[in-house]
Structure 1
Amino acid sequence: MKILRPIYLVISLFVLSFHISLAQNIKIQGEIRDSLSGIPYPAIKFGDMLATGNAKGQFTAFVPAGKQLTVKVTATGYKTYQTTLPALTADTTINWQIESLTQALGEVVISATRKPESPKNIVSTVSIVSKKKLDNEIAVNPDLTSILANEVPGFAPTAQSGSNVGQNLRGRPMLVMIDGVSQSSPLRNAEVDLRSIDPSVLQQIEVVKGATAIYGNGAAGGLVNYVTLVPDTATKFAGKTDVYLNGSMVKVRNSVGGRISQMFYGKVGKFDYVASGVAEETGEYKDAKGDLVGPNYSLGETNTYNAFAKLGYQPAPNQRIQVVYNYYSSLQNSNFTLVNGNLATGQKATGVLGKPLGIPTGAAYNNNLHLSYKVDSLFGHTSLNADAYYEKRKDVFYVSLGRFNGGDGQSLANNEKKGVRLFLQTPFLTQPALNANLSYGIDLLRDKTSQPLVDGRVWVPTMDMTNLAPFAQADFTIIRDLIFKTGFRYERVNIDVDDYRTLRITNASGATVTPAFDVKGGTLKYNTGLFNAGFKYNRFALFSPYVSFSQGFSVMDIGLALRDAKVNSIDKINTDAVKVNNYEAGFESRYQNLTFSASAYESTSKLGIEVVYDPTTAMFNTARSPEKIYGFELAANYRFSNLLNVNGSYSYTEGKRDVNQNGKYDDPQDAYLNGRRISAPKITGGVTYSPTQVLDVTLNYTGIGNRNRFEKNTTGIYNGNEGAVKAYNLFNLVAGYKVNKSTRLSLGIENLFNEDYFPARAQWFMQPGFYSKGRGRAFNFGVSVRY
């Protein structure tokens, strides 16, 4: 990092006793370096204290002997660094690192360790989708499943759908959260949780990859945390209005839709607030040929609403009370009935005018209420974060033809959560060569989930889960360069299920697959400990390596097992939980304007859950076998100048299951994990050019590679979830023009070169109703006004 101007350093030494003469002083000396680049910073003068410095960042100071004292290091453009020195009795050499305000205030991650932390101190792979990136993506398409697929390496490609089936993280289920509050349920994974909030009210998205013991149940593959907005002004009242017009550029007719977002925010005394409302209506989605995209779960003809409010109160400088409410709804109101595709001939699914069966599909509602209290400097400089939350959502699925008792049926996913969490952090070592903090607390969750049919019949009975989990995490910083983290979490889970009666399930020809019968309920109990540990070495900006081990835990998709029961008591059903061991190694590298990162991982579990297709019954069933998933990710960013920036990434994941359970994965009986779990390789890239202060242009690229791991069946097509994925390439363009200080225009073009393709999920899912083409070239024109 090149020094563009002199940095003025002042080291202020606050001495606890003022009665020691200069004859008793001892000398401390050392260097001051940038914490990220490792480059020493010069000091012109240290003021009128007993300290001097030189242009190489080296300093000499004199301090009283035998007394503990506090040292503050301050520099223009840098975060104040403060530490407590023990009573020194001899001359000492100490090196300090300071953190730039850009780094300190920019990318700060909360999700990985449940406290604000710089990414460079995290011993796992974390991806951050910043506010700026979010705004650019919204200018093209505000769908969060697309945003995450475009911006996060290792994240499976989007299906451009209201469902995120198959869109997992490194081949395993993830926990989706809003400000740390779970939107997912491991009891019945409805795979619709990514669309839980509108991106316009987000400050950033944090994606922690790999199993995590910090959050426990449901985070076997990692987590996605939607961090909501905080006011960015000190004025009492400010606002922002966004208006967008969007539609197809291939065939405009009936494709035009609109979106309006209104936000107010500000600070009044000790209070701060954000209030936002979003309404969006999309037109018909058209593919590259101008034909209607198949309406099954399509985001075309969808009405979306989001209401958000956040109120904060700071009764004292070290305290904050905050309440957040968010309402989200996104339902498809299509004017078309589905025309199935033909898997054998490659004919795409589409639709014809007519009223669809059932009620509108999508997120009927998702309500979140979250109250939190934070306080710093309790006993022993301990900080406390206590919160309570309530979440209730209902999602509507498509109509299954002829599946239930030989007739049609449409199911709902009902989920209700109540929880409290207590998180504390206490520093217990503050030595120059060793700093340590202990984080500890407890999580309590009550989750009630069910999957009835719209007509009132019970498909999955109510599952009532109580989850109690104490945890502790210790963080050590050794000689300022070596980071060591280790922690433990204990999961205690009880799930109560009442007696219920299964539905008679029939296949496409009306034959009975499983008869209706009574199942005796009971209580399922799970108790397990989860461990994590990791190292990272930050001495050199050119090479900062890390290694980590973490365990994840999730009760399997209990609802899926209960609805497909073949026995008359739940204690006879295989409902064993999934415990994951995740191993990861990687490094980060920064050289001048280049940043580069690489990571490799392996994830194993003695028991997994794979949804496999049974061609004899035309039904999907679950397979429970040991699993191994492995892969790697590469990411780079290079800033040529303030005008031009480029970035790119590559991610590869593979997985197999040990079918014969002999500890090997290369036997003929063993099988690859299917497309629902393992995505095809993905390449992303982006170029941002800002020729003037009022104009910027970004071109983003997402490429999906080939994956073909299975043989066709006797009918000449692939089984469900096993279809071959053929590569495709998508480019999105967004241009922004700042009309004046308060007004900005934007133009986003999705699928710039009008690629004619089937999304990856349409290819591997191999279901005629979901064999739809991707959206063709589309525009999104927006006006944003701040005041």
Structure 2
Amino acid sequence: MKQQARGSFALAVGSMMPVLIATQPAQAQTSAITGIEIIETLTGAEVFLQTTTTQALEISTTQSGNTLITEITNAQLRLPEGQPLQQTSFSNTIESVEVFQATENSVQIQITGMNALPEISTDLTIDGLFLRAQGSEPNRVTDDGTETLELVVTATRTPEDPEDISRSVTIITRDQIVTQAALNQNLGDILGQLVPGFGPTSDRAFTAASLRGRTASILVDGVPLNVNNRDFDRELKTIAPNAIERIEVVRGPSALYGGEATGGIINIITRRAGEERLVTQVELGVDAALGNFEGESFGNFLRYGLSGQENNVDYLVDLSRTSSGAIFDAEGNRIPVIQGNDESETFNILGKVGIALGEQQRLQFSANHYNSKRTTDVISDPIVDAIPGVQKAQALEVGELQFPAGGGPQTDRNTVFNVSYNHADLWGSNVSAQVYYRDNLSRTDPRDRRPRPFGIFQGELNSENWGGRLGVQTPLTPKLSLLWGQTTIKKPPQIHLIFLTPMHLMLAMAKLMYSLNNAL
């Protein structure tokens, strides 16, 4: 929006009673609103109404629930399209912004907060009315019962409000994840729908997800999933969406968690029990491809959750199973997919126990196990290469694949054990400590590279590592603090390249060992 000369008054609305914002002397003329511009901001929205004159406007504001109603008298909507403008699901803090003709000579602006009544300020400019709306972030409840804003913890390893971070930040909430997961359980695709600048993988190995074209460091509760050398770029296929509470994405290079963060940091935060004593949840789902209803495309989803809190102990168990069917195009033809999620069976188990050791301390134990195995009986028919012109891939049924020793179906398996401790005030410093263990196996599907070298090829990554992190934030002045500590990671990953003969029977294996000796 272009810069405009602003008037001399602005009033924030926070009272429970109607407030008269400004009153101008009554004029015989009526101001026409000829343009409306609504811009989303990090904490709310900005609304600009372009008018023929601002001298005739009389503005008052009332409230109803989480909605602020700003009424402009002596005004009429005369928009080029002839329609009022409304935007819904506007941001994390503003649910909707609506502008409409309330009476013959009055216009209303209704702004509804997502979590609470928003605050507004208004300015009269030379050519219109400028209004800012600021909503409230969702509240979180800490161990001592106090409420605090949802924070981003990845940018500097210390909790910060998104407004205080100089880089671009996106927070994906639990509600957004649930909405997207109803249609797609692929976490990479979910991020692709919700995170600007995120490039999802292409459903095959060696094609990493990216932020603004560069690789990202991917974490689960602070545990790094990247192995800092040659991996299969399948880190986002190691946890089910139903086990996630929120995802924090910080764009821009960072070395706080080691390598692979030239594009930014993606921190996946797992679910945690609420304040209720006992909560159980059961979910069932069925899906199918629109082009096929004969059974092969049908999939199903089952989830059971249990959580609760008793005195100073909270706990959560979340189990899920997803069975995915085959993929068909709009004409009902089978699509042969390389390194896909079709025809796979996925299990995810998340367990978490937290103990509040007083008002300032918390100890937490968590474990997450993810196992996905894909079994398909089709490959891409090589006869397509011999057909002139542009052809789409065709599925060729070859039956159950037989694997020699050392091979197997496409698999993603990831197990993480994590112990964390936090003391909010230890001799004046905030101390956080973490010890974790991770065991990961990623195996690609077999690929026929003939007549190229290596014949039939399959790759496997087996990574087992453990690490620890100690961070101490010591305040030096009211606005300056020092963050110091130590990070250690041990155990190198192993990458196996499996080469199969054209006869699918004999096996030759070459093993490459990569050692990671430097701490992150």
Give the TM-score normalised by structure 2: 0.67
Does residue 440 in structure 1 map to residue 484 in structure 2? yes
1:285-344 CA distance string (max 9 Å, x none): 112222112132122111111011011111211111111101111111112233245498
Query: 5 Å matches for 1:143-542?
Result: 143-157=186-200, 159=202, 161=203, 163=205, 165-235=207-277, 237-253=278-294, 254-340=296-382, 342=385, 345-354=389-398, 355-356=400-401, 358=403, 361-379=409-427, 381-401=428-448, 402=450, 407-430=455-478, 435-454=479-498, 457-469=508-520
Note the C-alpha offset of 1:416.
1.3
1:705-731 CA distance string (max 9 Å, x none): xxxxxxxxxxxxxxxxxxxxxxxxxxx
Q: Provide the C-alpha distance between the structure 2 equivalents of 1:156 and 1:36, rounded to a whole number of angstroms.
A: 25
Q: Provide the C-alpha distance between the structure 2 equivalents of 1:187 and 1:224, rounded to a whole number of angstroms.
A: 18
Instruction: Check 1:122–1:289 CA distance in 2 against 1; reply closer, same or farther (3 A cut).
Output: same
Q: Provide the C-alpha distance between the structure 2 equivalents of 1:124 and 1:344, rounded to a whole number of angstroms.
A: 51
Query: 5 Å matches for 1:480-629?
Result: none
Alignment match, 1:783: none
Instruction: Check 1:249–1:164 CA distance in 2 against 1; reply closer, same or farther (3 A cut).
Output: farther
Kindly provide the amino acid, as one letter, of the partner of residue 466 in structure 1. N
Instruction: Check 1:166–1:289 CA distance in 2 against 1; reply closer, same or farther (3 A cut).
Output: farther
Kindly provide the amino acid, as one letter, of the partner of residue 375 in structure 1. H
Note the C-alpha offset of 1:37.
8.2
1:715-750 CA distance string (max 9 Å, x none): xxxxxxxxxxxxxxxxxxxxxxxxxxxxxxxxxxxx
Note the C-alpha offset of 1:6.
3.8
Does residue 122 in structure 1 map to residue 165 in structure 2? yes
Instruction: Check 1:99–1:144 CA distance in 2 against 1; reply closer, same or farther (3 A cut).
Output: closer
8 Å CA contact 1:297, 1:361 repeated in 2: no
Query: 5 Å matches for 1:642-661?
Result: none
Q: Provide the C-alpha distance between the structure 2 equivalents of 1:404 and 1:102, rounded to a whole number of angstroms.
A: 55
Q: Provide the C-alpha distance between the structure 2 equivalents of 1:336 and 1:101, rounded to a whole number of angstroms.
A: 48
Q: What SS does structure 1 have at the residue aligned with 2:273? A: coil
Kindly provide the amino acid, as one letter, of the partner of residue 168 in structure 1. S
Note the C-alpha offset of 1:387.
0.6
Moved more, 357-366 or 333-342: 357-366
Over the aligned positions, Cα root-mean-square deviation in angstroms equals 2.9
8 Å CA contact 1:174, 1:223 repeated in 2: yes
Q: Provide the C-alpha distance between the structure 2 equivalents of 1:348 and 1:120, rounded to a whole number of angstroms.
A: 48
Kindly provide the amino acid, as one letter, of the partner of residue 395 in structure 1. S
8 Å CA contact 1:107, 1:118 repeated in 2: yes
Q: Provide the C-alpha distance between the structure 1 equivalents of 2:388 and 2:492, rounded to a whole number of angstroms.
A: 42
Kindly provide the amino acid, as one letter, of the partner of residue 414 in structure 2. N
Q: Provide the C-alpha distance between the structure 2 equivalents of 1:216 and 1:372, rounded to a whole number of angstroms.
A: 19
Note the C-alpha offset of 1:263.
0.7
Instruction: Check 1:372–1:286 CA distance in 2 against 1; reply closer, same or farther (3 A cut).
Output: same
Note the C-alpha offset of 1:413.
0.8
Can you give the 5+ residue segments of structure 2 that lack an aligned partner in the other structure?
Answer: 1-10, 18-41, 46-115, 118-133, 141-147, 500-506
Alignment match, 1:110: 153
Q: Provide the C-alpha distance between the structure 2 equivalents of 1:314 and 1:291, rounded to a whole number of angstroms.
A: 56
1:498-539 CA distance string (max 9 Å, x none): xxxxxxxxxxxxxxxxxxxxxxxxxxxxxxxxxxxxxxxxxx
8 Å CA contact 1:444, 1:468 repeated in 2: yes
8 Å CA contact 2:209, 2:216 repeated in 1: no
Q: What SS does structure 2 have at the residue aligned with 1:133? A: helix
Q: What SS does structure 1 have at the residue aligned with 2:179? A: helix
Kindly provide the amino acid, as one letter, of the partner of residue 271 in structure 1. V
Q: Provide the C-alpha distance between the structure 2 equivalents of 1:304 and 1:293, rounded to a whole number of angstroms.
A: 21
1:460-500 CA distance string (max 9 Å, x none): 4221212225xxxxxxxxxxxxxxxxxxxxxxxxxxxxxxx
8 Å CA contact 1:246, 1:258 repeated in 2: yes
Note the C-alpha offset of 1:363.
3.3
Q: What SS does structure 1 have at the residue aligned with 2:189? A: helix
Q: Provide the C-alpha distance between the structure 2 equivalents of 1:204 and 1:176, rounded to a whole number of angstroms.
A: 14
Can you give the 5+ residue segments of structure 1 that lack an aligned partner in the other structure?
Answer: 8-34, 39-76, 79-97, 470-787
8 Å CA contact 1:174, 1:218 repeated in 2: yes
Note the C-alpha offset of 1:106.
5.1
8 Å CA contact 1:370, 1:387 repeated in 2: yes
Note the C-alpha offset of 1:429.
0.7
Q: What SS does structure 2 have at the residue aligned with 1:419? A: strand
Q: Provide the C-alpha distance between the structure 2 equivalents of 1:168 and 1:429, rounded to a whole number of angstroms.
A: 38
